[in-house]
Amino acid sequence: MSAGSRLLSALSVPGLALVAALTCAVPAPAFSASAKGPDTVADTAAIVMDAVVNISTSQNVAASRGVPTPQLPPGSPFEDFFDEFFKRRQQPDDGEGNNNRSRRVSSLGSGFVIDPAGLIVTNNHVIADADEIYANFNDGSKLKAELVGRDPKTDLALLRVKPEKPLTAVKFGNSDVLRVGDWVMAIGNPFGLGGTLTVGVVSARNRNINSGPYDNFIQTDAAINRGNSGGPLFNMEGEVIGINTAIISPSGGSIGIGFAVPSATAAPILAQLEQFKEVRRGWIGVRIQSVTDEIAESLGLGRARGALVGGVSDGGPAAKADIKAGDVVVRFDGKDVKEMRDLPRIVADTPVGKDVDVVVIRKGKEETLRITIARMPEDEKKAEADTPSPSPKATASQRSLGLELTAMSDELRRKFKIKEGVAGVVILSVDRGSAAADKGLKPGQVVVEVSQEAVSSPADIRKRVEALKRDGKKSALLLVADPEGQVQFVAIPLT
């Protein structure tokens, strides 16, 4: 499969797979759209068509190893025949079993000019591993392109060509004002045909297709096919409001479900690629998880919302701002955090060094904290939470919440390989068919807190559970650590 259309993943629909492709929106600014769609997009297309380019790449690929000669018994009548046959078919070897000959492969994709001086946007997967990159223009001209920078996480790449005269360029529009039902136009290079235009509507926004940590795609039914990857999605004013990246298709052909990176996401990333040749994302040093209805009830949130902090990186910005495990982030730098996946995207887009307000819900009450954004570490390792608990005291095992529990001991640390920094109550077994089993709890894990209060013995857990029942709570919120110290919140029903 060419770089112009890559297979991403299955989307839990039998026979369907995500195939990378670039969707473009069809603008018709000079014409009003009736119930049946815009009267024509010809005038707008004539203006923007010359800014859309075909991206062609080539790459040297080593030839495969020679076919091994069959192993035959010594003296076999076929031994001489096969030796001579395979010697004729073998290519020269480099002495290490590798064929010296190589072959050149090529691929096609799409892109568009954003600066008359020669800056071109495309998908990272279109130019990945390419030895040579060329931009082919609508007038038949062809220019060699150099890579300015790339961002695999959003599948964006910025190229530069050196034209003899200024190029036709397009500008970004505001994807945040898009509505489901707005008309869009896509221009690209499907199947290597070049300069193909399709029209459709925005069929959904903020789509998560599990392709990366910052998924926030525009979904469109404008026809997108193999080779459209990297092309623009235009609004009715002829502005780029998306960069076509993927489609759902069983065969690589359009079935009316395509995805584009919103311009609001792409524009700041491309600006960083131009300035720094890399992307410098914001980072605060927290590990988060989704807020389920059960967790929301346990924390007194009223409804599921925000991002639950499961751990805080020692010495990171969040720790310095006094953000704690168990806090629910509901607003960050003036932007609402409606669900868990909103927070990483908002933080990543926040400039490094900026001081922002963070609104958290802590034990049922809102608090506003001030945090300074740091740069995401190069290795991007997950932060480890610092969740100290009181020293364990010896006690016999007890059963509670479908769990057999006992206090921490040196013997249990050795048995389950629990790190020294992990303290709490050890899970010895989990009742089959229990809610705890359904939640994935396992022997060797450690209950660190119950309803945001530290526990060090089974008796502590039993007391907390009894208190929750008296208060009319429907579930107990456990903070559970694995032997490595990675923690997560788990809500266990009290019925």
Binding-site residue ranges for substrate: 125, 155, 227-229
Q: Which segments are annotated as binding site?
A: 125, 155, 227-229
AA identity, residue 147: L
**What is Dmax (Cα atoms) for the chain?**
89
Measured CA to CA, the distance from residue 260 to residue 176 in angstroms comes to 13
Q: Phi then psi for 42, rounded to 5 degrees?
A: -60, -45
Helix axes 263-276, 342-349, angle to 10 degrees: 40
Contact 287, 164 (CB under 8 A): no
Please list the active-site residues: 125, 155, 229
Alpha-helical (H) ranges within 277-334 are 293-299, 317-320
Residue 273 CB burial class (10 angstroms; 0-12, 13-18, ≥19): buried
Cα end-to-end distance, the chain, whole Å: 53
Q: Which residues of 391-420 are buried (b: 16+ CB within 10 A; e: fewer)?
A: ebeeeeebebbbbbbbbbeeebbeebebee
| 232's tokens | 């623009």
Which residues lie closer than 8 Å to 319 by C-beta, 6 or more apart? 285, 312, 313, 386
- DSSP codes of every residue in 173-224: --GGG--TT-EEEEEE-GGG--SEEEEEEEEEEEE--SSSTT--EEEE-S--
Contact 244, 230 (CB under 8 A): yes
Measured CA to CA, the distance from residue 37 to residue 28 in angstroms comes to 10
- For residue 339, the 8-state DSSP code is S
Alpha-helical (H) ranges within 375-409 are none
Which residues lie closer than 8 Å to 302 by C-beta, 6 or more apart? 296
